[in-house]
C-alpha cells in the first residue's frame, strides 16, 4: 500500500472482486448467505492456488 486513499491500491481489489462477481457469483444461484460465503471461500482458494496468473508465467 502506497498511502491512504491512493487509487492504485484499489485497482487490484476492484479487479479481483469484479472477476469474482462476473465470472462466478452472477452465473450461479444461491439459497442463503452461508452458501455464498462457502462458495466464495472455495473460489478464492482456487484463485490463489490453482488459477493461472500471467505475472507468474502461468
Nearest to 39 by CA among 26, 23, 50, 25: 25
Domain encompassing residue 16:
7-56
Structure-block grid coordinates of residue 7: 487509487
Q: What is the mean pLDDT of each run of 10 residues along the chain (58 residues)?
A: 67 84 89 93 85 58
Asked if the structure places residue 50 within a domain, the reply is yes
Q: Which helix (H) or strand (E) holds 57?
A: none
Residue 2 domain-assigned (yes or no):
no
pTM listed for this prediction: 0.63
The pLDDT value given to residue 13 = 81
Residue 1 maps to a domain: no
Q: Which helix (H) or strand (E) holds 18?
A: helix 7-20
Look up residue 37 and give its three cell numbers.
460465503
Question: What are the phi and psi torsion angles at 31 (to 5°)?
Answer: -105, -20
Amino acid at each position: 500500500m502506497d498511502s491512504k486513499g491512493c487509487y492504485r491500491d484499489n485497482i487490484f481489489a476492484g479487479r479481483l472482486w469484479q472477476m469474482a462477481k462476473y465470472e462466478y457469483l452472477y452465473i450461479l444461484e444461491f439459497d442463503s448467505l452461508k452458501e455464498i460465503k462457502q462458495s466464495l471461500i472455495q473460489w478464492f482458494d482456487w484463485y490463489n492456488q490453482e488459477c493461472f496468473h500471467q505475472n507468474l508465467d502461468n
